[in-house]
Structure 1
Amino acid sequence: MISYWNPLPTAQRVIEHLGECAEQLFAGAWEHRNWRNVPGPFYAGDTDSMATGRLDAPDHIAYDDDLGGGFGSEFVYRQPVNEHETTALIHGCRMELYRGYNWDGDDHWTVEAVREWWRERARVREWAVAIAADWGADAHPHWGFNADPRYLGHYHDAAQGHRDFVAYIDDGLEIYLRGYLFWLEQRREARDGEALPRL
């Protein structure tokens, strides 16, 4: 399993290559972040309900149901741990109309806040299990307008994101967060053999 890897230098290069302005691309507000976002530098605040982020970043972006059955906002369920994943996530962020993502999580997360998120992980896991079962079914009363079957594939993909989130909570997220705690304390990645903080 991979512990923390700092994606921000790569993200900066990708943004410059794309000709984007970071201040315009990443305009989401920390106080509006989705409570489902896993700790790390990237997070989603207020986003649109178009549910486009998974088109580019299915291994990192998932959708909530805060609009009451239909797609609500996006959130980051898995932080990137290499250049390819960072590029994919940035492209997913670019698809969001309201520019509701941000990459300044390192300025806000504290060791205790990360530990508190981890202690409360059962809440997000329970939500993800329930919504995956709901949206992954073959008959759903809220698929688009009048349960239009054209939306079936989109909901099934969203449900896969929720199942992936559950799997990550169960296996992988703990070691990542321990590495992130090291980063928050030391402002560097842990070297091989260095002990990581406990959650």
Structure 2
Amino acid sequence: MGHGRWQERSRLNVPGPFYAGRTDSGLNGPYYLPEHVLSDDEHCEFVHRQPADPREVAALVEIAHGEPLGGYAWDGDRHWTPQAVRDWWSRRDEVRAWIGRELDLSEEGRNEPEALRQYAAHLDGGLEAYLRGYLFWLVEGREPRPGEALPDL
């Protein structure tokens, strides 16, 4: 558990400590925790929304624990760099296009349409603020204080 390989992570994982790489095709994450986990074109799970509180962390760890291939990990802070986060953000249109294709195919049941719409809304809404805070964390090694300037994406 928690030994996913960085090199195998899905390009759709949102930058942050949690990510998934090679997982089985059981799709437990998208089924039990669609507000955080979806499945990519290869039926591998990925984290589309990082947990924001202890309960969400526990839920994601529980999904990871039930993944037989051990494809989840939470060492993303050791791998993401500010430039890599900015590069991911610069390719968000590719993610948006993937979401659109998935919504067109949603009858196959791999991902819930509502979860896909939530990912799109997060991409267009709060994700930028989260990523700016995550950049601060990567550079400064701490949470930003209220009113403290955040790095640009």
Q: Which residue of 2 aligns with 1:12?
A: none
The amino acid across from 2:89 in the alignment is: W
Structure 2: stretches of 5+ with no match in the other structure:
none
Task: Map 1:29-68 to 2 at 5 A.
Answer: 29-66=5-42
Q: Which residue of 1 aligns with 2:46?
A: 75
The amino acid across from 2:152 in the alignment is: R
Deviation at 1:36, TM superposition (A): 0.3
CA distance in 1, matches of 2:137, 2:102: 32
CA distance in 2, matches of 1:28, 1:158: 24
Which of 151, 165, 176 is residue 119 of structure 2 equivalent to? 165
The amino acid across from 1:74 in the alignment is: E
TM-score, structure 2 as length reference = 0.95
Q: Is the 8 A contact 1:56 1:89 kept in 2?
A: no
Matched, 1:105 2:76: yes
Q: Which residue of 2 aligns with 1:28?
A: 4
TM-score, structure 1 as length reference = 0.73
Q: Which protein shows a greater Rg?
A: 1
Query: Which whole-Å deviations, capped at 9, do the CAs of 1:114-159 have from their partners, x for residues lacking one?
Result: 0000000000111111111221x4xxxxx4xxxxxxxxxxx17533
Regions of 4+ moved over 3 Å = none
Q: Is the 8 A contact 2:27 2:110 kept in 1?
A: no
Task: Go from structure 1 to structure 2 and tell me whether the alpha carbon gap of 1:84 and 1:36 turns closer, same or farther (over 3 Å shift).
Answer: same
The amino acid across from 1:111 in the alignment is: P
CA distance in 2, matches of 1:158, 1:50: 14
CA distance in 2, matches of 1:56, 1:164: 15
Structure 1: stretches of 5+ with no match in the other structure:
1-24, 67-71, 138-142, 144-154
CA distance in 1, matches of 2:48, 2:3: 19
Q: Is the 8 A contact 1:46 1:73 kept in 2?
A: yes
Structure 1 residues 47-56 or 103-112, which shifts more? 47-56
Which of 134, 139, 142 is residue 180 of structure 1 equivalent to? 134
The amino acid across from 1:187 in the alignment is: G
Matched, 1:132 2:108: no
CA distance in 1, matches of 2:111, 2:9: 23
Structure 1 residues 50-59 or 124-133, which shifts more? 50-59
Q: Is the 8 A contact 1:53 1:95 kept in 2?
A: no
Q: Is the 8 A contact 2:38 2:111 kept in 1?
A: no
Give the aligned length.
153
